[in-house]
């Protein structure tokens, strides 16, 4: 079973501990679970946003520079944890690996060049290509409405909410491909591990088409 884990840039200070917890857990299991971590843009993409505004870059240039920023985060994670990076998702051998997404996205160029398409949508796109479970780890427990966490919602409900902890295009990707998504708090590694395994966990479950 393959699982794509989107690791939010907001977790950068705790990311090594989270990845090590995931790696330690699955190293001790005999199952065939493979976790492919898609890094967010975080502070690296924030710099691209600033540069884009300062120099009035085109959306095309900003798009590819932001994806390259995701790779900077990936290399940081690899250096901190020793977990290998990969570029090819068609032949994954490790139980836990970190995706360098630039070449894959450049070769296909299927996604719009827009700041509305960020690493959440890219991670969902990778998950649907791999027919993988999709988990998003961020720095909050899930999606909130009027101060209350939503435990379960549909893709259309996410679309109608507008601004959330997920990027604006994620709902479009989930609807298009009939995908599920589980959003969990990465400050709690045990929740992330449980979500990867498909267990019920504190967070927001976005239901795909049934």
Taking the C-alpha atoms of residue 148 and residue 151, their distance in angstroms, rounded to an integer, is: 9
Number of C-beta neighbours around residue 153 at 10 A: 20
Taking the C-alpha atoms of residue 173 and residue 77, their distance in angstroms, rounded to an integer, is: 26
What predicted TM-score, i.e. pTM, was given to this entire model? 0.95
Q: What is the pLDDT of residue 48?
A: 96
For 171, half-sphere exposure in the C-beta direction (CA atoms, 13 angstrom radius) is 16
101-140 per-position pLDDT tens digit: 999 999 999 999 998 889 999 999 999 999 999 999 999 9
Which structure tokens are listed for 94?
Answer: 């490790």
Fold that domain 2-207 belongs to in CATH: Carbamate kinase (3.40.1160)
Q: Which residues contact 24 (CB under 8 A, 6 or more apart)?
A: none
Query: Reduced to 3 DSSP states, what percent helix, strand and coil does the chain have, rounded to the nearest 5?
Result: 45, 20, 35
7-47 per-position pLDDT tens digit: 999 999 999 999 999 999 998 777 899 999 999 999 999 99
133-157 per-position pLDDT tens digit: 999 999 999 999 999 999 999 999 9
């Amino acid at each position: 079973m393959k699982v794509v884990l989107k690791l939010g840039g907001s977790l950068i200070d705790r990311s090594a501990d989270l990845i090590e917890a995931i790696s330690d857990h699955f190293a001790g299991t005999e199952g065939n679970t493979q976790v492919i971590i898609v890094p967010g843009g975080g502070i690296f993409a924030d710099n691209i946003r600033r540069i884009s505004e300062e120099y009035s870059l085109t959306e095309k240039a900003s798009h590819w520079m932001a994806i390259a920023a995701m790779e900077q985060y990936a290399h940081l994670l690899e250096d901190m944890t020793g977990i290998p990076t990969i570029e090819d998702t068609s032949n994954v051998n490790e139980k836990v690996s970190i995706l360098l997404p630039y070449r894959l996205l450049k070769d296909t160029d299927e996604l719009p060049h827009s700041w509305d398409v960020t690493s959440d949508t890219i991670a969902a796109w990778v998950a649907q290509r791999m027919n993988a479970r999709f988990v998003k780890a961020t720095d909050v427990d899930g999606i909130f409405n009027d101060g209350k966490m939503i435990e379960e919602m549909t893709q259309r409900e996410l679309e109608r909410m507008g601004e959330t902890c997920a990027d604006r295009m994620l709902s479009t990707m989930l609807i298009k491909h009939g995908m599920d998504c589980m959003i969990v708090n990465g400050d709690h590694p045990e929740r992330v591990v449980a979500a990867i395994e498909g267990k019920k966990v504190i967070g927001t479950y976005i239901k795909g088409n049934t």
